[in-house]
Amino acid sequence: MLEVRDLHAGYGRVPVLRGVSLSVPPNHIVGLLGANGAGKTTLIRAISGLAAVHSGDIRLHGTSLTRIRPERVVRHGLVQVPQGRLLFAEMSVEENLEMGAYTVRDSAAFAAALERVHAMFPVLRERARQPAAVLSGGEQQMLALGRALMSSPRCLLLDEPSLGLAPKALDTILDVVERIRAAGTPVLIADQNARKVLQLAQYCYVLENGRIALEGDSRRLSSHPGVIASYLGATES
């Protein structure tokens, strides 16, 4: 389980998050909704050790990850797929996947992780020798997700995975995210595509101005007037 308690965080001394608390239980997908500037990416980065934590606590399966270096966060099993994918464009697909496995020391474990990724995304096997730069947007997102899975994470953080994707490619990505959850890895997904997140996640938080404004079961939130008006592109008659 990932637990965040009363988190205040930002960049340098500039506060962005103001007392955020949330949890991602085992075998759950938890959604994080909010407009641009609400603090979604800052929250993902703070949990990952990439934004300054001013106060509060971050724990994964009871182990504190508060204020530890990003590479140690990954070694504890908390892995982020960042907004914009941030691939090594000139490196091959295979080399990008290898970069995701830098915490894996055993060759058999590496081979098993690579096989799991190829089973989820067969196109990555087909394009193994091609540079990441020539992949389509959907294929690049598959590679970014595959790279994160190479370390066999204990919890996965996804920041805006729908960004720039065609509907069919996004559906493929979200189908794999559900399979990841079903296999036992909890997922926190932050995305502006509220409709898709509410369909995918079991529980959601709504972040506004650095604070949790609303939370609850995804089906209940889907019918909440404020969520409908602000995030689902419709108003109640």
Res 76: pLDDT: 96
Res 237: pLDDT: 32
- Host domain of residue 204: 2-86+153-227
Q: What average pLDDT score do residues 42-53 get? A: 96
Residue 113 lies in a domain: no
Residue 209 lies in a domain: yes
Residue 197 lies in a domain: yes
- Per-chain mean pLDDT for the chain: 93
The domain total for the chain is: 1
- Beta-strand pair 78-81/14-24: unpaired
Q: What is the pLDDT of residues 57-80, one digit of tens each?
A: 999 999 999 999 999 999 999 999
Strand, coil or helix: 234 = coil
Query: Token digits for 124?
Result: 């990555």
171 phi/psi in degrees, rounded to 5: -60, -40
Residue 80 lies in a domain: yes
Residue 236 lies in a domain: no
Res 234: pLDDT: 53
* Burial zone of 39 (CB within 10 Å; 0-12 exposed, 13-18 middle, 19+ buried): buried
Res 126: pLDDT: 96
Q: How far apart are CA 201 and CA 205, in angstroms?
A: 10
Residue 136 lies in a domain: no
User: Tokens 């409908």 sit at which residue?
Assistant: 228
* Burial zone of 115 (CB within 10 Å; 0-12 exposed, 13-18 middle, 19+ buried): exposed
CB-based contact 212:206 (threshold 8 Å): yes
pLDDT > 90 in the chain, percent: 88
Q: Is the pLDDT of residue 235 over 80?
A: no
Q: What is the pLDDT of residues 22-37, one digit of tens each?
A: 999 999 999 999 998 9
> 12-16, 93-97, 202-206: lowest mean pLDDT where?
12-16
Domain CATH code at residue 71: 3.40.50.300
Res 218: pLDDT: 96
Residues making up the chain, counted from first to last = 237
Residue 104 lies in a domain: no
Res 164: pLDDT: 87
The contacts of residue 201 (CB under 8 Å, 6+ apart) are: 28, 29, 30, 31, 189, 218
Nearest to 162 by CA among 128, 199, 125: 199
* One-character DSSP codes across 60-121: ETTEE-TT--HHHHHHTTEEEE-TT----TTSBHHHHHHHHTTT---HHHHHHHHHHHHHH-
CB-based contact 227:194 (threshold 8 Å): yes
Q: Is the pLDDT of residue 119 over 90?
A: yes
- Beta-strand pair 2-11/52-60: antiparallel
Residue 141 lies in a domain: no
Amino acid at 61: H
Sign of CA dihedral 127, 130, 134, 137: positive
